[in-house]
């Protein structure tokens, strides 16, 4: 009967501690580290021991990673003084138990065992997958009443060791996945996401230390030719070898990441000006001096770099990245195989180029709309979509501060595409809610856009998708494309051919800045223009310059005979608006009627 009661009590105790262990294991509010500490405390209390610890095998030593120590003889994250005991468990890879250590010849030579007065040791191997991590250790100074741990005790210890092994395996797998997610598979370098995370740390450090840094964005020159001529396998090998060369050429404290494609980014710590330039130049020269050895032979590679500087007062990396992007563009423009630094040229096309490239990628090129009114009735009759660039800090750049860069980068057609789509969508929405279909929507269009036949076709497809609204499919559409006289080519046949698909669809044309060039009337005669926009300089001087007034009167008279609607730009006051109305100008546009609105 006593034996039965003892077994019943043991079973109840085992059930209680297993239930407690399960509750800890499934507690989502606790971290794994917190769970491990609580489980060790549970084991200490239910096994009636003085210390419980997890020791990791590191080389030839055991390092304590987690401990509950009533004895006070262990240091956290320190070398375990009982390596001789842990070694027994590791060498056998089995659970090991000692009950009379002070009386054992095997441990009497151990000063730590003797000085600590330990009598009881239990060591359970912890496996992470198939690899031995270390040992789960339980220690007691006094002998157990039963002289040894029960089978339930041992089963509980092994269950606990298995749980620790699973926890460590899960942590290891999570870390491996995180590393994989932040590592470029081809080069082994940190990828763009990893670089962005690390930049956040570098920014915090720069602000704390009141010390800036620089970055250099670079790519391998004419890399597409390497892929085209030798194949992508050789191209991949060139990327791998070049990344190694760049990494080895960095100064201590600098780092590199793959930014995308053949593009890399260098972090240059505590560097600005000449120092940053020299660091990037060192990398460029290393690449040039290290031809890549491939199965197709030796491939010589050069690189170009653009540098941007981060100041501690900056709010984020956007300005620095834009500078570096712009400088890289300038390095390419200068012939490649060079390094270009920003030198603080924030107002130049160079800087705007980098800003524009990033804004197009991040969809921060948007349309602002300025109203046009009928000068006879004062009623709104149209609006014009004007390109704006939203900076990352929320400020807005007008078109004249980035269009030059767009043209120089051959990106103006992408700006046009973006603004045209936004304007068409706005027009469609207005018609759906009952706006007057005769209200016109003006959009600027460059010759570069017209030269991209694929973009023209996609734009027409986009218009067809939006067109089944409140307007007839045949006839004039509300969209009017502005073409600027100064941008037009002398090849009128080519221009008319490019414009014909738009005219066939029902779009109309407006000739912008009329009077600003030498061939104004020739363009008017050769192109099917529906609207003529009088150049702003003339409008601003119409009240003070009689000759300008006579010129505008001639334009209006000719336009009336040709059935062309005239529009005066830059109307800024009531007197000018009244004079234009008296002269017969049809519509007006300018700050007097309304500023562009996003």
Whether 448 is covered by a domain: the verdict is yes
Query: DSSP state, 106?
Result: H
Are residue 342 and residue 368 in the same domain, yes or no?
A: no
Residue 476, C-beta contacts closer than 8 angstroms, at least 6 positions apart: 506, 508
Poorest-pLDDT segment among 7-16, 50-59, 210-219, 309-318: 7-16
Number of domains in the chain: 3
* Boundaries of domain holding 263: 192-346
514 in Cβ contact with 483 (< 8 Å):
no
Are residue 166 and residue 270 in the same domain, yes or no?
A: no
Per the model's pLDDT, the better-predicted residue between 86 and 465 turns out to be: 465
Whether 87 is covered by a domain: the verdict is yes
The mean pLDDT value for 272-286 works out to 88
Are residue 12 and residue 93 in the same domain, yes or no?
A: yes
CATH number where 300 lies: 3.30.70.270
Whether 171 is covered by a domain: the verdict is yes
Poorest-pLDDT segment among 67-71, 196-200, 286-290, 458-462: 67-71
Where does the pLDDT of residue 280 fall: very low under 50, low under 70, confident under 90, or very high at 90 and above? very high
Residue 7 has pLDDT above 50, yes or no: no
Whether 508 is covered by a domain: the verdict is yes
Which residue, 121, 148, 179, sits at the end of a domain? 179
pTM, to two decimals = 0.48
Residue 62 has pLDDT above 80, yes or no: no
- DSSP E strands in 48-115: the ranges are 51-58, 61-69, 96-98
Are residue 170 and residue 39 in the same domain, yes or no?
A: yes
Whether 351 is covered by a domain: the verdict is no
> pLDDT tens across 67-120, in order?
888 777 666 555 555 666 677 777 777 888 888 777 766 666 555 656 667 788
Are residue 450 and residue 340 in the same domain, yes or no?
A: no
Q: What is the pLDDT of residue 495?
A: 76
Average pLDDT, the chain: 83
Are residue 373 and residue 415 in the same domain, yes or no?
A: yes
Are residue 530 and residue 464 in the same domain, yes or no?
A: yes
Q: What is the dihedral of CA 101, 107, 108, 112, to 10 degrees?
A: -90
Q: How far apart are CA 291 and CA 498, in angstroms?
A: 46
Token output for 135: 């040992």
Residue 380 has pLDDT above 60, yes or no: yes
Report the share of the chain in percent with pLDDT over 70.
85
Q: What is the pLDDT of residue 111?
A: 59
Q: How far apart are CA 129 and CA 164, in angstroms?
A: 11
Are residue 502 and residue 539 in the same domain, yes or no?
A: yes
Q: What is the pLDDT of residue 594?
A: 92
Whether 169 is covered by a domain: the verdict is yes
Residue 152 has pLDDT above 70, yes or no: yes
Residue 314 has pLDDT above 50, yes or no: yes
Token output for 105: 């010849």
Centroid of chain to Cα 183: 15
67 strand-pairing partners: 53
Q: How far apart are CA 15 and CA 4, in angstroms?
A: 16
Are residue 128 and residue 20 in the same domain, yes or no?
A: yes
Q: What is the pLDDT of residue 8?
A: 43
Residue 203 has pLDDT above 60, yes or no: yes
């Amino acid at each position: 009967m006593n034996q039965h009661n003892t077994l019943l009590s043991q079973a109840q105790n085992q059930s209680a501690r297993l239930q407690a262990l399960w509750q800890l294991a499934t507690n989502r509010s606790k971290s794994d580290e917190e769970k491990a500490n609580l489980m060790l405390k549970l084991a200490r209390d239910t096994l009636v021991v003085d210390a419980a610890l997890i020791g990791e095998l590191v080389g030839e030593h055991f390092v304590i990673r987690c401990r509950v120590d009533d004895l006070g003889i262990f240091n956290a994250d320190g070398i375990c003084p009982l390596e001789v005991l842990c070694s027994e468990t590791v060498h056998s890879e089995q659970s090991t138990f000692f009950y009379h250590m002070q009386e054992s010849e095997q441990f009497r030579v151990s000063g730590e065992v003797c000085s600590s007065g330990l009598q009881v040791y239990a060591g359970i191997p912890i496996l992470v997958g198939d690899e031995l991590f270390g040992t789960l250790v339980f220690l007691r100074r006094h002998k157990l009443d039963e002289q040894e741990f029960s089978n339930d005790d041992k089963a509980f210890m092994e269950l606990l060791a298995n749980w620790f092994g699973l926890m460590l395996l899960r942590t290891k797998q999570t870390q491996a996945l995180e590393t994989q997610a932040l590592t470029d598979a081809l080069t082994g370098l940190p990828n763009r996401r990893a670089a962005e995370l690390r930049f956040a740390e570098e920014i915090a450090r720069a602000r704390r230390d009141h010390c800036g840094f620089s970055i250099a964005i670079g790519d391998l020159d004419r890399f597409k030719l390497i892929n085209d001529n030798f194949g992508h396998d050789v191209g991949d090998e060139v990327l791998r070898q070049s990344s190694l060369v760049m990494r080895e050429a960095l100064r201590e404290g600098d780092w590199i990441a793959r930014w995308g494609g053949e593009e890399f980014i260098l972090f240059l710590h505590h560097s600005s000006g000449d120092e940053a330039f020299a660091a990037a130049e060192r990398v460029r020269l290393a690449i040039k001096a290290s031809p890549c050895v491939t199965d197709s032979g030796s491939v010589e590679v050069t690189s170009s770099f653009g540098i941007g500087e981060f100041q501690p007062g900056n709010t984020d990396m956007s300005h620095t990245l834009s500078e570096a992007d712009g400088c890289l563009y300038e390095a390419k423009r200068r012939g490649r195989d060079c390094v270009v630094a920003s030198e603080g040229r924030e107002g130049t096309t160079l800087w705007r180029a980098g800003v524009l490239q990033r804004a197009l990628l991040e969809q921060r090129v948007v349309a602002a709309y300025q109203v046009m009114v009928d000068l006879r009735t004062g009623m709104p009759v149209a609006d014009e979509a004007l390109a704006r660039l939203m900076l990352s800090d929320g400020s807005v750049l007008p078109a004249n501060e980035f269009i030059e860069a767009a043209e120089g980068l051959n990106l103006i057609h992408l700006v046009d595409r973006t603004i045209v789509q936004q304007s068409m969508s706005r027009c469609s929405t207005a018609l759906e809610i009952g706006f007057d279909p005769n209200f016109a929507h003006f959009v600027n269009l460059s010759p570069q856009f017209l030269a991209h036949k694929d973009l023209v076709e996609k734009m027409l497809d986009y218009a067809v998708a939006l067109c089944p609204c409140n307007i007839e499919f045949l006839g004039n559409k509300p969209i009017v494309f502005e073409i600027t006289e100064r941008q037009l080519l002398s090849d009128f046949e080519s221009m008319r051919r490019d414009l014909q698909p738009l005219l066939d669809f029902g779009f109309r044309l407006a000739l912008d800045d009329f009077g600003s060039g030498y061939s104004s009337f020739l363009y008017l005669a050769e192109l099917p223009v529906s609207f003529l926009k009088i150049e702003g300089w003339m409008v601003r001087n119409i009240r003070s310059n009689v000759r300008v007034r006579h010129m505008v009167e001639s334009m209006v008279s000719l336009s009336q005979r040709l059935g062309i609607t005239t529009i005066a730009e830059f109307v800024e006051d009531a007197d000018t608006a009244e004079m234009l109305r008296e002269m017969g100008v049809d519509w007006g546009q300018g700050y007097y009627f309304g500023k562009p609105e996003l």
